[in-house]
């Protein structure tokens, strides 16, 4: 699919109150498309992904929550594990009556998406994780060194409007959600979700930027090894934030994968009738 003119669908921000937390989310896109749940990365919110959401919304009805304790979503208490996050997202899924949906997660959101797909495998049609966390392979000093080494190198790819939103979201979270910012980093660095990955039943595409020095490609290989129906695809020239800087590339890869899954499901169904 070639994206000459991306239709700018209207987006609506909504807020749902639960017992000890609230979830804010944006939704919009193709009203006749299947639901697509998009989970953002650590330290920011759904807002910096708006260009990527616009591209994905050409075919799908996209729903992008701010994770609890980030952005416009509040959480009372400690967010100490992936399980806490997926419980909150599951509550949103139930409230929105999403029987089945496509699922995409980036970075820390990839770890949350993997845990969610393992927890409710019957509801996730297909899964894409991008430069994901979920397997602890590096220390904090190594992480910081990698991050500062990568940032200057991706200047040529930066969309400054996106980068300004990243900085703004990080600053807001640092001021208003500092505790959860730290807790999220600890989860990403230390919690290992490999024991859960065998529970995932949906086809899974693991995407990794070729030049991502922030999250090592070894994590991607470990994820693919643990999930039965999965494959790894390297995005040429991509850094950690490539999905935000190259929204058309993300949408094209995602649409191809979702279409392949749909076709394979149809073929399996027809074969079962013979």
Span 132-178, pLDDT tens digits = 999 998 887 888 788 888 888 887 887 899 999 999 999 999 999 99
As a whole number of angstroms, the distance between CA 70 and CA 63 comes to: 16
- The mean pLDDT values, 10 residues at a time, for the chain of 274 residues are 65 96 97 96 97 96 98 96 98 98 98 98 98 90 83 82 95 97 94 97 98 93 97 96 96 98 78 60
Coil/strand/helix, residue 136: coil
What is the pTM (predicted TM-score) of this model?
0.95
Report CA-CA distances (Å) from 107 to 1, 95, 110, 130, 239: 25, 25, 5, 6, 12
Q: Structural domain boundaries of the chain?
A: 11-273
Phi, psi of 140 (to 5 degrees): -60, -45
CATH class of 11-273: alpha beta
Q: Are strands 11-17 and 124-130 parallel, antiparallel or unpaired?
A: unpaired
């Amino acid at each position: 699919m070639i994206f000459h003119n991306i239709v700018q669908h209207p987006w609506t921000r909504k807020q749902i109150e639960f017992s000890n937390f609230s979830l804010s989310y944006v939704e919009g896109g193709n009203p006749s498309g299947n639901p697509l749940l998009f989970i953002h990365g650590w330290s920011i919110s759904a807002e910096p992904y708006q260009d990527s959401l616009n591209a994905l919304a050409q075919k799908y009805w996209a729903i992008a929550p701010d994770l609890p304790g980030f952005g416009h979503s509040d959480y009372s208490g400690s967010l100490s594990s992936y399980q806490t996050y997926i419980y909150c997202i599951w509550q949103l899924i139930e409230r929105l009556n999403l029987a089945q949906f496509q699922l995409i997660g980036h970075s820390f959101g990839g770890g949350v998406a993997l845990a969610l797909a393992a927890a409710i495998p019957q509801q996730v049609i297909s899964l894409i994780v991008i430069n994901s966390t979920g397997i602890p392979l590096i220390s904090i000093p190594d992480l910081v060194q990698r991050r500062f080494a990568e940032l200057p190198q991706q200047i040529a790819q930066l969309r400054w409007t996106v980068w300004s939103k990243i900085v703004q979201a990080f600053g807001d979270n640092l001021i208003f959600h500092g505790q959860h910012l730290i807790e999220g980093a600890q989860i990403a660095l230390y919690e290992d979700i490999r024991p859960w990955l065998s529970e995932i039943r949906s086809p899974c595409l693991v995407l990794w930027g070729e030049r991502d020095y922030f999250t090592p490609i070894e994590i991607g290989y470990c994820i693919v090894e643990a999930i039965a129906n999965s494959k790894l695809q390297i995005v040429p020239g991509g850094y950690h934030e490539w999905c935000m800087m190259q929204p058309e590339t993300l949408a094209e890869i995602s649409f191809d994968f979702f279409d392949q899954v749909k076709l394979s499901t149809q073929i399996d169904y027809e074969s079962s009738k013979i």
